[in-house]
Amino acid sequence: MQAVALLRTLALAVQYAHGQKVVHRDLKPANILLQKFEDRSTPDFGLQISDYSPKITDFGLARRLDSQSTALTQEGAVLGTASYMAPEQAAGRVGEVGPATDIYGLGAIFYELLTGRPPFQAESWQETIDQVLYDEPIPPTRLQSDVPLGVETVCLKCLEKEASRRYTSAAELADDLERILQGRPVVAVPLHANERLARFAMRDGYQIGDEIGRGPRSIVYRARYGPLQQPVALKVFDADICTREQWDTRIRRCTDQWAVLAHPNLLPIQQAGWWDGAPYLVTEYVPRGSLADQLAEQSYPIAQALRLVEQLAEIISYLHRQGVIHGNLKPSNVLLAAGGIPRVGDLYGTSGLSHGSLLASEAAPAGLGYLAPELIREPGADLHPTADIYGLGIILYELLAGRPAFAQASGRETLEQVRSQDPLPPTHFNARVTPHLERFCLRCLRKNPYRRYYRVYDVLKRLRYFQENPQEADQDRPVDRIKP
């Protein structure tokens, strides 16, 4: 609490200056001197911040609020130290510089007291200014987990980009800091995660709408982009799913892969990046939603299920011919366009045939019931075409049975089911499925990848055969007379 007490003293001093119509405009640690209390007999090497009285110095850039002009306040002039400069000051908007500018400076000092670093700091002065203008500070709790939530809330309120969102006065800030010292709740309200995300998205031209999908490690939002308000799907992942270096590596690999992919049923990535310590990507918005959404609302006739999986097999066969494996086929990654035409998404997780999956281990928590058993047993192993054959089988099973092959229980239970248990036969849930179709589906789901079909082309031939001979797939279909 020493940092809180110190900042409260500074806030009261700044409030006095504001009462005298003076704005400092250059508050930073270098301009705070610490004077030892005369009654403290503690040796110098054992002194703490609480043993000092802080003094604000260097009013060289100060401005009188009752004066309209000085030599140092021409519009567009950028004065101050970049890492501690308020956005309106960094942008040279002299007319907006006022008491709120000093409150920002106090927040920057507070941030460094809590984390050991200023809120914004880059290799060059201009890069730091850009961060001040466009980036949000990393919440102190991400850098120092022991920072109390109330303390973080007060600090981030001081560092708001818009002056109107900060404390209205240094006295109000001092009052909230006094509440922390007394163990009472602060008046400042913490910023909701969705609002924080919306600010990052707005910076890049995206307006986030409602949530349209949710996975164990990601959320998909409907959003609009640019002046034309183009509808897009914005997928935001959990912050701990990977490091920024891993994400950048994955996106570079995707860029190389997309250079050789040209298929109308593949959903390309329009943009990808990093917001607030978490990865995101943008794809085309498909109004009808995913196959998972459709399965939750309706069941699929056998003929329709076979046609859908055949279309998916054609897409996967194309990918394999280009040397690319999807590796994460599941209903939520299949989007349905007009006419029920499937489009395969989430290709950011694909892997070349000769390359290991960089993030197979991170993919495991998401959609465990749909992940091929070999990817669970050996998370870092190379992907093989049989992983996509398993994905086709798992989708066909759910279409036929009307439920997932493995119950979506806790992560550990689902992992154990995928590793060691065979799914119940589809006929257990749908008596219309023939033994021939059931054997075909279960062969795609064998635990040993080498006992599945060897190529997607073999799966595609069987799917076409069942559609040409419906009596082999649907028990209730009348048997057509076979022409000689």
Are 325 and 386 in contact by the 8 Å Cβ rule? The answer is: no
Mean pLDDT of the chain: 84
* 72-81, 259-268, 454-463: the lowest-pLDDT one: 72-81
Same fold for the pair 2-191 and 291-472: yes
Distances (CA, A) of 350 to 234, 253, 356: 19, 9, 10
Reported as a pLDDT band with limits 50, 70 and 90, residue 478 is low
Name the one residue in this structure whose structure tokens are 């595609």.
460
- The residue among 125, 129, 154, 124 whose CA lies nearest residue 140 is 154
- The residue among 265, 263, 267, 211 whose CA lies nearest residue 236 is 211
CATH code of the domain made up of 291-472: 1.10.510.10
308 pLDDT more than 90: yes
- Residue 266 is classified by DSSP as B
What are the structural domain ranges in the chain? 2-191, 196-284, 291-472
Distances (CA, A) of 173 to 59, 65, 164: 21, 20, 14
> How many CA atoms within 13 Å lie on the side-chain side of 226?
7
pTM (predicted TM-score): 0.71
Distances (CA, A) of 11 to 52, 98, 99, 149, 168: 16, 15, 11, 20, 12
Instruction: Please tell me which residue, 166 or 73, carries the higher pLDDT value.
Output: 166
Reported as a pLDDT band with limits 50, 70 and 90, residue 425 is very high
Fold of 196-284: Phosphorylase Kinase; domain 1 (3.30.200)
Report d(CA 480, CA 297) in Å as an integer.
32
Looking at residue 42, what is its pLDDT?
54
Are 206 and 224 in contact by the 8 Å Cβ rule? The answer is: yes
pLDDT single digits (tens) 215-258: 778 889 999 998 989 999 999 988 888 888 888 888 887 777 77
- The residue among 76, 81, 74, 67 whose CA lies nearest residue 28 is 81
Fold of 2-191: Transferase(Phosphotransferase); domain 1 (1.10.510)
Measured between alpha carbons, how far apart are the two ends of the chain, in Å? 91
Are 458 and 466 in contact by the 8 Å Cβ rule? The answer is: no
Report d(CA 88, CA 324) in Å as an integer.
49
